[in-house]
Amino acid sequence: MAEYQAPLRDIRFVLNEVFEADKLWQSLPGLNGAIDAEMADAMLEEAGKITSQTIAPLNRSGDEEGAVWKDGVVTTPTGFKEAYATYAEGGWVGLGGNPEFGGMGMPKTLGVQVEEMLYGANSSFALYIALTAGSTLALDAHGSEELKRKFLPNMYAGTWAGTMCLTEPHAGTDLGIIRTRAVPEADGSYSVTGTKIFITGGEHDLTENIIHLVLAKLPDAPAGPKGISLFLVPKFLVNEDGSLGERNSVTCGSIEHKMGIKGSATCVMNFDGARGYLIGELNKGLNAMFTMMNYERLSIGIQGIGSAEASYQSAVEYARERIQSRAPTGAVQPDKAADPIIVHPDVRRMLLTMKAMTEGSRAFSTYVGMQLDISKFAEDEAIRKKGEDLVALLTPVAKAFFTDIGFESCVHGQQVFGGHGYIREWGQEQLVRDVRIAQIYEGTNGIQALDLMGRKTVANGGAFFQVFADEIQGFIDANGDAELAEFVQPLQAALTNLRELTAYVIERSASNPNEVGAASVEYLHTFGYTAYAYMWARMARVALAAGEDDGFYQGKLSTARFFFKRLLPRIHSLSESVRAGSEVLFEMDASQF
C-alpha cells in the first residue's frame, strides 16, 4: 500500500504556471502584501511534510479505532490529539483567518492546496480543521467586535475548535422547519434549547473548548427560513478575562456509527437552556451562515480531490508492481512469469481517468479559490462583482462534481487492485467508504444541482453563466493557433453545446417548473466536463510552451489528450438526457413504483 505523498509538483504547476497566482496576489491590495511566491512555496513544502509525515500515518489506524463516545465524552483515535497540536502550533488552523485576531490572512488560492493535502492524508482528521475554519468565517463576517475578540484568537490558534449546528432530526435540507428555540435573557444573551444531529466535531478531546454556531428561532420569529437566527454557544463559558468558566448546558447525546470517516465524531448535540450569543441580526441567520457556505462547500468538494489523489497514488504503484498475464502486443518482461498490469488497456483507462479528472479538479479548485480571493480582496467594484458572480455559479459545481468524480476515481482505484481492493489492508476500500459522504453532506449533490440549475441559472436568465461562458470564449479567441487546435476546437464545441443546453432549459422551465429538477444533475455534469475542458486547455497551453524535453509536461499533454478524446465526449449522452425533458419522470403514479 502506497504511503500518501503531497503532490507538490502538480500543485506548483497549477498554482504558479497555469494561474500565476503570485501576479493575482500582488494585484489585490486587500491582501496587504501578506504573501508572495517564495513564501507560498515554503508554506506548501511545510504543509506537504506535516500532512504526509504526521497526519497520513493516522488514517488507517484512525479508521480502525474510530471516535469513541462514553458518558457524553468523545475520545478521538490514538495520535489525533498529538497531530492536531502539532498542526495547530504551526498556525495552520488559522491559515485563512483575519490577521487582526491572530489569523494568518492567507488567500484561498493557497488554502485550497493545503486542504487537498489534508483530505488526501486523512479525511477524518481534516474535518475537525475544516469545521473550525468555516465557523470562524461566519463569526468574523457577522459577529460583534466583542465576540470576535473574545473567541477568534483561540479558534485561529487551534486552542478552541468550532462547529456548525444546522441539521435536526426532522429538518435537513428544509431548515425553515427547525425547532431549536432561543429565548432572550435580561443580560442580552439567549437561552438556546433543542437537538441537532450530524454535527461534525460536536464533541472531542482535541481542544479545551468547542464553539458551536447554532441555528435557532425566537418564540415570535416569522415562519420559515426568514425566522432563523444564528447564535454562538460555547461548550465552556468564557470569563471576562478570557479564561474558561463553567460548563454550558451543551451535551453530546451520542455519536453516529458510520460507513466511513470513522475518526471524525459525528454527534447528536443537545442544548438545554444553553447560554448563547446572537451573531449578526435577528432572523437573518441563514445570511450569516451562507457567508461561509461557499468556502465550506468548496472544502467538502476538495475532499473528493484529496481522496482521489490518494487512491491514484496507490493504484499506480500497484499497477506497476502487480504482474498478471502478458501485454496484448507481446511480453514486456519476458524474464518474468507475467507483465505488470499497467500494460493492459483497461487498467490504463482507469488510471488515466483518475489522473485526468483529479488534475482537472485540482485546476478548477484553484480557479474557484481565485474567484473567492477576487470577490473578497479586489478593490475595483466591477472585478469584485465578476468574482462574486462566478463564486455563486461555480460553488455548487465544485462541491458536487468534485465529489461525484472523486467517488468514481476511488472506485476505479479499488478496481485496479481487483480482489485486493476489497481487502482492508490495501486501503482502497477505506477511501471508497470515506469519500462517499462527501456527495451527501454540506447539501447533497442533488441539492447542489438544483441550486446551479434553478437559483444560479434559470432564476437570472443565465446571467451568471454568461460571465463564465464569455471568459472561456475569450480564451478560445486568444488561442487560435494550430498548435493548440486539438484542445481549443473541442473546447469550443463543448461550450457551444453548453450554451444551447442552458438556453433550452431556461426556455422549457418557463412553462414547466419540473424541467429544472429533471435537468439539474445531468446539466451540472455537462457543465463540469466543459469547465474541466477549459482547465485542461489552459494546462495544455503551458505544457506545450515548456517544450518536449521534460517528461512532466509531456505527461500533462498526454493526459490532456486522453481527457478530450475519452472523457469530454460524455457530455453528449448527458445533454441528450437533459433534452429528454421531465415528462418521462412523471408518467408513473407514485403507487406504481
Instruction: List active site positions.
Output: 442
CB 99 within 8 Å of CB 114: no
Task: Find cell 444551447 and name the residue.
Answer: 500
Q: How far is CA 13 from CA 362, 543, 552, 563, 575, in A?
A: 10, 10, 10, 18, 32
Distance CA 506, CA 568 (A): 24
**Contacting residues for 17 by C-beta, under 8 A, at least 6 apart:** 542
Instruction: Report DSSP state, residue 194.
Output: E
**Contacting residues for 281 by C-beta, under 8 A, at least 6 apart:** 229
Backbone angles phi and psi of 185, in degrees to 5: -110, 160
CB 234 within 8 Å of CB 248: yes
Burial of 487 (0-12, 13-18, 19+ CB in 10 A): buried
Backbone angle region of 105, left / alpha / beta, with phi > 0 → left and psi within -120 to 50 → alpha: left
Task: Find cell 451540472 and name the residue.
Answer: 524
Distance CA 397, CA 75 (A): 35
Task: Find cell 475518526 and name the residue.
Answer: 263
SS (H, E, C) 8-27: HHHHHHHHHHHCCHHHHHHC
SS3 2: coil
Distance CA 501, CA 495 (A): 10
Q: How far is CA 70 from CA 84, 251, 268, 356, in A?
A: 21, 12, 13, 44
Q: How far is CA 104 from CA 110, 298, 367, 538, in A?
A: 12, 20, 21, 30
Find residue 279's DSSP bridge partners: 230
Cell matching residue 356: 485526468
Cell matching residue 240: 471576562
Backbone angles phi and psi of 542, in degrees to 5: -65, -45
Distance CA 551, CA 564 (A): 20
Considering only CA atoms, which of 119, 84, 81 is closest in space to residue 437? 119
Backbone angles phi and psi of 234, in degrees to 5: -80, 150
